[in-house]
A and B are shown apart, each in its own frame.
Chain A
């Protein structure tokens, strides 16, 4: 049965959308990521307008993150204070990002900026992950235990003012770095339709030095707030959230995620990361190809308000 999407103004087969949501949900359960970075390009490849894809994905991530955050909350693995500080930065970033989104859409460079942002971010993150997981796998094969990670000390980060105590994270640091990270992720959420977990989690571990047991829950908590704000702002300023599309994506997503989590328990961590790295790089390469290969049709048409 085909369903008509009132905002995207196109008809789609509901099973396709449900399947897409389930596939992304499976991957997000498997890898512990939101999956927005895969869902947005997938929707665009399927023919959903880029603006609707970005805006609607945000609400899909809200749902899957709530599901995950509740599980983390039961384990008391959420630093609410840190999450709130980052979300404050995230809200500012979202407002800025949604404004930027509108400007780009009017100037006709929307698709380019979204694709370029994806290529840069996914290329970088995927490359780093690939290098790390290959290194670990090689170390495991040669029988040598992987060297313990010891980052720099970030002296300049500790010299910043407005310090605050974060009890659950056992940290006493300036609020500026979490706010800046939150802001950056808020912008990403608005223009790329991603939750930003793949940026927040490494930033929390390597920059803020948060204990790994609270990282997952805290990042989910702040992603919920940022993507919920993105959804509302995209709805009010760009009229780009398609609630029917979101409904089917979410239903598929939450079901797929459960199977993903179970499949993930049977795979080893570094294998998972290698797979995820390859997946991320594949999406980046596909988007890069779209930018550099001469398109078969050079012209595009957009209907504008009078």
Chain B
């Protein structure tokens, strides 16, 4: 909610200051839906855009952020108890993105002040849960979450990920691994100049299962009894078939 407001603010600032700075941003996605089909193994989507009316040399920076749907996450830490490693301390982090990928023209520290980045929630370091439920200092748990998600390819930050094809035209390859959560994603493109956001754009992106996978997933959740019985029926038929087939063969 807070983020949407900030984006709106950025838009207002843009239109309000239109007379002063004509530098603007247009951007788009290679596709607005990613369909998870039976042979889905992850994909690449391309965010592309152009800077309109660029001022003089090119002291601008582009930051592209793809954010997946938020979810509540429990981070658990293993501890040794009488010789056995088991989950002990835990923290519940509310509303963390299930997917976060950032690409920029150079490292975030060089683009803007930490204060600005924090205000717009840009960068893995500024990924903060809405609320935390824990008896312990939540910071190590938040860092562990980000580290684990990076290992799974679900979080990422590439300081050189924005590729300029011409002085004004840019594109970003965004890796979408097979383990992504379904739902609405947002591609946010920020144009920075002298450490300030002068333009921002947000484009929605939908990732969903299609075809047989979707029907199976829906069936499993909408009518689990029918789904369970079908699984048993399938097992029964296959088991029976094999005994018939192999009895003939031997």
Contacts and interface: CB of A to CB of B under 8 A. Distances in A.
Interface of A: 1-4, 6-7, 9-11, 59-60, 62-67, 70-71, 108-109, 111-112, 116, 228, 231-237, 239, 241, 243-244, 246-247, 250-251, 254-255, 257-258, 291-295, 297-306
Interface stretch (B168-176, B194-202, B222-230): B222-230
A289 to B, nearest CB: 11
Given A4-B40, A10-B179, A112-B86, A302 B240 contact: no
The 5 A-B pairs of least Cβ separation, nearest first, read: A235-B228, A66-B239, A299-B144, A254-B242, A232-B228
B80 interface: yes
Interface in B175-211: 178-179, 181, 209
B100 to A, nearest CB: 13
A237 B220 CA distance: 11
B178 A11 contact: yes
B238 A254 contact: yes
A236 B74 contact: no
A247 B237 CA distance: 11
Given A6-B213, A60-B235, A62-B239, 15 more contacts: A6-B216, A10-B178, A11-B42, A59-B232, A59-B235, A66-B240, A239-B224, A241-B220, A241-B227, A243-B231, A250-B234, A258-B250, A300-B76, A301-B149, A303-B73
B232 A62 contact: yes
6 contacts: A250-B235, A250-B239, A258-B242, A291-B86, A292-B84, A300-B75
A239 B231 CA distance: 12
Given A6-B209, A108-B76, A298-B77, A66 B236 contact: yes
Nearest to A5: B213
B76 A63 contact: no
A241 B238 contact: no
Interface residues of B, number: 62
A43 to B, nearest CB: 16
B217 A232 contact: no
A11 B213 contact: no
Given A63-B235, A294-B85, A302 B220 contact: no
Nearest to A228: B232
Interface in B69-127: 71-80, 83-87, 90, 92, 98
Contact of B231 (A231, A302, A303, A304): A231
Given A62-B235, A254-B239, A243 B148 contact: no
B243 interface: yes
